[in-house]
Amino acid sequence: MDKDKNNSKTFYITTPIYYPSGDPHIGHCYTTVACDSIARYKRMQGYDVMFLTGTDEHGQKIEQKAAEKGVTPQQYVDEIVAVFKKLWSYMNISYDRYIRTTDDYHVESVQKIFRELYDKGFIYKGEYKGKYCTPCESFWTESQLDENGCCPECHRPVTVAREEAYFFKMAPFADRIEKLLLETDYLQPKYRAQELVNNFIKPGLEDLCVSRTSFTWGIPVDFDPGHVVYVWVDALSNYCTALGYKNSRYHDYDKYWPADVHMVAKDIMRFHAIIWPAMLMALEQPLPKHLAVHGWITFQNKNGEAQKMSKSLGNVVDPFMLGERYGVDAIRYHILREMALGADSAFSNEIMINRINSDLANGFGNLVSRTVAMADKYFGGTLPNDREEGDFDQSLRDCVLSVRGKVDKCIDETKLKNALEEIFVAVDRANKYIDETEPWILGKDESKRARLASVLYNLLEAIRVISTLLSPFMPTAMPKVWEQIGAAESDISYENAGRFDVLPVNVTVHKGEILFPRIDMEKEINELNAIIEKNMAEAKAKLSDAEKGEEFVPAELAQEISIDDFGKADLRVALVKSCEKVKKSKKLLCLQLDDGFGGRQVVSGIAEWYKPEDLIGKKIIIVANLKPAKLCGVESQGMILAADTPDGGAAVVFPDQELPCGAKIR
Ligand code: ME8
C-alpha cells in the first residue's frame, strides 16, 4: 500500500513515547530535538510533515510511583506530562501531534489490535514464568541476562514472575525480520543489524508475553477481564493509532503511514527492530521505512568518567537550567553536534561551553557581527550599487553553495552531527574570506569601495545561506540573524539556500544584539559543578536504604575458597602516619604506615576519592603479606582495603580506631 500523497510529498517522523515516571532530562531532549530538526528541515524542503511525540503512561512502574506519592496513576502522569509539554515548548519543539496512551482513542485502537491478533491466531493464552525487570518493564530469558544475572539493559536485579498471560507468536515472522534487518536499510546504523540477528533471531525468537494480571494500570483486554495489555503492544501501536488506525479520532493513516523515521535510543532498539515489525506483519500493515538508533547521553563526572544519568545519583542534566544560562539554541546545537548516530556521548559541561564559545560565539556569531558591523561602519548600513569582483569570491560561493546538497544527504541518513559539521565548513570558509579580503584595509581606500561592497555582499549572502540551513537546528536564533542581515522572508527558503545573489543589491543591515555571548568558562564550570554536587548530595540524602540497594548492583561473588585459602591472607590494622599524591599519577596515593612491625609504605589507587589529609591519623586495614609491587615506579608493600560504592567509587574500610597497630584480622 502506498501513501495517499494527494500530490504532495509526505514525511512522518516519530520520537519514542516517553515514560512520565520522572521529569524529562537532556537524554529525552536529544531524540526530540533531533526529530524536531529533521521535521523542520523536511518542512523547509516542501514536505507535508507529521511529527509525533507523546507519553507512554501505563505499566507497573507508574502504578508503583503513584502509590508511593499517594495519588492515582492518572493524577501522577497528568502532572509529569505537563512538565514534558512545558519543556517541548521551551525547547521550541514543533510537534504536530502529541499522543498519550491514556487517550480514549488509543485505548480503543489497542483493544481492537489485541483482538485482531487473537482472532488471527497470533495471540494465545499460556502461563508466563520468567525473569522480569520492573524498572524496564521487560521480560528476559535466562540467556539474555547480563553476567551478574541482572537485566541486560539497566543491570538491576530481576525477579521471577509466573502468571497466566497471553503470548504473541514470534516464530512466523523470524525469516522476514531477519531479511528486513540484513537486506534492507531499515535499521540505521546498519552495523547493529547483525548483533540483533545473532542475539535474538538465531537462538530462536521467543514468543512475547503481551498481557499481565499482576497490576491493573493498563489497557484492559476487553474479552478477558483481569488481563491488561502488556506495555509494548500498547506503546508501539501509538505510531499508528495517533494517525487514526482503528479509531475515528484522526483520519491521516493512509496519508502518512508507513512512518519514514522512527528515532529511538539503543535501549529500545530490540522492540522497534523485531517486535514492532512482527506486529505490523501480523496486522498486514506496511512496515516503517527507517529505524534510526542513537546511543546514550551519559554524564561525564569531574573525574572524566561516564556515568549513566540517573535521578537517584543526582547527575541528571536539567535542560531548563541549561537553557536559562546559555539559551535554548545553544543547547540544541551542542547536543546535536556531539552525538554521532549509534555511538554514546558523554555530556560534559566543559565540552558544552567550549563548543558554544568556539562554534557559536567565535565562529558563526562573530561572522555575523563582524559583517554587519562593517556594513554599518563603511556604508551606514546600506550597501551601494557598485560592485567589483575579486579573488576568493568564487571559492567562497562554491563552498557555500555545495553545503545544501550535503546537508540533504545527512538529513536523509539522520546524521545530524555530520549535517552541522558540513554547515560549519562554510562558516569557517566565510571567516577565512574575511581574513583573505581584509575589508578593514579596503575601507581605508576610497577607490576600493566597489570591491568592499562586493566583499560585504558576498559575506551577507554566505550568512543568508548558512542561517537558512541552520534554522531547523536553531529555530530561535536564526530569525534574529535574518533581521540583522536585512533578509526578507522570501529570501529565506530552501530553494534560495541553493543560490547566490538573492539579497537586494543595496541591502540594509541592522546591528543587533550579540547572538551567542562568549561564556566565561572558569566561572560557569565552578557554578555548574556546585549545582551538580548539591544535587548529588540531595539525591543521596533522599534515597531510602531500599532504593540505594536498588541502584547498587554488587559485583559477582568470587569462586568459593576454603578457610585455609582465606588464612593465607594476612590482614592487619595499620595507622596512616603520612600520605601524599604520587607524582605524575591522578589515581595514586602513597601512604606511610605504622603496621606494628616497624612501618611500611603502601601505594593505593584512591586519589580520586580521598585527599591525603582525609587519611592521615586514621587506622585502616592492609593486606600485609602481599608480594611487593611497583606502581608508577613507587614500591608498594601490600594494599589497603576499600569497598566499591554505588557511584563507581571506592570507600576505604576504617576499623575500630581503638585497635592497636598490627592487630590481626581473621
Ligand atoms: O523507553 N540518552 O521510554 P523512556 C539518550 N516508553 N537518549 C535518551 C536518554 C539518554 N540518557 N534517556 C532517554 C521508553 N532517552 C518507552 C518507549 S516507544 C513505543 C516506548 C530517550 O522514557 C531515547 O530516545 O525510557 C530513549 O529511546 C527514550 O528516551 C526512552 O524513553
**Centre of ligand 1 from the C-alpha of residue 297, in Å:** 11
Is 90 exceeded by the pLDDT of residue 507? yes
pLDDT at 306: 75
What the block records as the C-alpha cell of 268 is: 529500545
pLDDT at 534: 82
**Centre of ligand 1 from the C-alpha of residue 401, in Å:** 37
Question: Band of the pLDDT at 114, cuts 50, 70, 90?
Answer: very high
Atom number in ligand 1 closest to CA 308: 11
Is 80 exceeded by the pLDDT of residue 144? no
> Please, are residues 294 and 416 in contact by the beta-carbon 8 Å criterion?
no
522 or 114, greater pLDDT: 114
Is 80 exceeded by the pLDDT of residue 589? yes
Atom number in ligand 1 closest to CA 55: 6
**Centre of ligand 1 from the C-alpha of residue 31, in Å:** 8
- Indicate if ligand 1 lies below 6 Å from the C-beta of 84: no
- Indicate if ligand 1 lies below 6 Å from the C-beta of 292: no
State whether residue 258 is helix, strand or coil. Answer: coil
| Residue written as grid cell 506483519 | 281
Q: How far is CA 463 from CA 416, 425, 459, 655, in A?
A: 20, 12, 6, 67
pLDDT at 10: 98
Is 80 exceeded by the pLDDT of residue 94? yes
C-alpha 627: how far from chain center: 46
Question: Band of the pLDDT at 396, cuts 50, 70, 90?
Answer: very high
State mean pLDDT over 511-533. 90
Atom number in ligand 1 closest to CA 295: 5
What the block records as the C-alpha cell of 332 is: 540544541
- Indicate if ligand 1 lies below 6 Å from the C-beta of 19: yes
pLDDT at 129: 79
- Indicate if ligand 1 lies below 6 Å from the C-beta of 532: no
The shares of helix, strand and coil residues in the chain, as percent rounded to the nearest 5, are: 45, 20, 40
Q: What is the DSSP letter of 362?
A: I
- Indicate if ligand 1 lies below 6 Å from the C-beta of 14: no
- Indicate if ligand 1 lies below 6 Å from the C-beta of 30: yes
- Indicate if ligand 1 lies below 6 Å from the C-beta of 235: yes
By DSSP bridging, strand 642-644 and strand 650-652 are antiparallel
Identify the bridge partners of residue 262 per DSSP, sorted by sequence position.
14, 291
pLDDT at 578: 94
Kindly tell me the burial class for residue 38, based on how many C-beta atoms sit within 10 Å of its own C-beta (0-12, 13-18, 19 or more): buried
- Indicate if ligand 1 lies below 6 Å from the C-beta of 297: yes
- Indicate if ligand 1 lies below 6 Å from the C-beta of 468: no
The H-or-E segment that residue 300 falls in is: strand 297-300
State mean pLDDT over 411-433. 97
Vertex 490: Cα angle to 487 and 494 (nearest 5)? 100
**Centre of ligand 1 from the C-alpha of residue 267, in Å:** 7
**Centre of ligand 1 from the C-alpha of residue 50, in Å:** 20
By DSSP bridging, strand 297-300 and strand 345-347 are parallel
Residue from 13, 15, 17, 18 whose mutation best tests the ligand 1 pocket (most atoms within 8 A of CB): 18
Look up the pTM and report it: 0.79
Mean pLDDT computed over every residue of the chain: 91
Question: Band of the pLDDT at 550, cuts 50, 70, 90?
Answer: very low
Q: Domains in the chain and their CATH numbers?
A: 3-294 (3.40.50.620), 343-549 (1.10.730.10), 563-652 (2.40.50.140)
> Please, are residues 205 and 171 in contact by the beta-carbon 8 Å criterion?
yes
pLDDT at 559: 67
What the block records as the C-alpha cell of 144 is: 539474555
pLDDT at 554: 58
Alpha helices in 504-625 (DSSP H): 521-542, 545-551, 563-567, 612-615
CA dihedral for 630, 633, 635, 636, sign (positive or negative) = negative
Residue nearest to atom 4 of ligand 1 (CA): 18
State whether residue 219 is helix, strand or coil. Answer: coil
- Indicate if ligand 1 lies below 6 Å from the C-beta of 595: no
Q: What is the DSSP letter of 363?
A: I
> Please, are residues 496 and 502 in contact by the beta-carbon 8 Å criterion?
yes
Rounded-to-integer distance, Cα 456 and Cα 443, Å: 11
Residue nearest to atom 12 of ligand 1 (CA): 27
pLDDT at 646: 67
C-alpha 239: how far from chain center: 21
Is 90 exceeded by the pLDDT of residue 470? yes
Residues 7-32 have pLDDT tens digits of 579 999 999 999 998 888 888 999 99
- Indicate if ligand 1 lies below 6 Å from the C-beta of 309: yes
pLDDT at 288: 98
- Indicate if ligand 1 lies below 6 Å from the C-beta of 182: no
